[in-house]
Structure 1
Amino acid sequence: MNTRWKPNVTVAAIIERDGRYLLVEEHTPDGLRLNNPAGHLDPGEGLVQGCAREALEETAHHFTPTALVGIYLSASHTRGEDGITYLRFAFCGELGAEVPGQTLDAGIVRTVWLTPDEVRASTDRHRSALVLQCIEDHLAGQRHPLTLLHTQLTAA
């Protein structure tokens, strides 16, 4: 049997305001963890639109991506077995208004604003190493224009 390997495509919002980063605290199989507002790209959705949607669902705030911070490949494999691979597109941008009455996505407990040092000090609570890596890249000034990305969606 010949099967094709396919990574899980995710989008993440790297949101900074006044020297603090917006993270979500969420239930995971490993307990409560901190993560950037992030999630899976939906079928028929562009990367920028997916990031804006995920940020709204997880933070109850509008978010407008303005630049790509980075593209990250994260894989968990055990010897002799296929694991899960994530291809993450992380965006920074402008945080908009909170949407009154908007409930947070299932599993999201709350949002928290942390300084970079607080994020670094809490790595044992991160959902993955990408939480800190994306913030460090943002702090280093990594910004790529959205024109780098192209979406072509066609009807089947």
Structure 2
Amino acid sequence: MTVEVGKKAPEFELKANNGETVKLSDYQGKNVVLYFYPKDMTPGCTTEACDFRDHHESFEDLDAVILGVSPDPVESHEKFINKHDLPFLLLADEDHKVAEEYDVWKLKKNFGKEYYGIERSTFIIDKNGNLAEDYRKVKVDGHVESALEYIRENLS
């Protein structure tokens, strides 16, 4: 499946760190910031999560919900949330099916080694469930502010 700006965002159902099962359609009527990240507790992912944490109230003011997704299990997400006081849900995509649907499960290379993993990406989904904007190959620095600004200018 291809994900295309202006089209319906792919529905999903994943376990959240709070033990509940979360579906995209649960957030109909709200803007959703769906961000995919490679791994809990790693430097770049921690910086990104803490940036979202630090701007959480600003997103809430714009009627936007933040959802983080990685292949880590729920238990890892819970530790990550507790350690960094994250005020939003993290979703466990252990079989990476949702990452594949959103086309962020990619062949990566690191120190000459090839492996599959998450390509850091963010999808902004509007109140009707349509993909409003996508950010691929995200660089952490300044990204959260860009996403917030997009929502402020286009979806509020």
Same fold (TM over 0.5): no
**What TM-score do the two structures reach when normalised by structure 1?**
0.27
**What TM-score do the two structures reach when normalised by structure 2?**
0.27
User: Which structure has the larger Rg over C-alpha atoms?
Assistant: 1
Q: Normalized per residue, which structure has more helix?
A: 2
Q: Normalized per residue, which structure has more strand?
A: 1
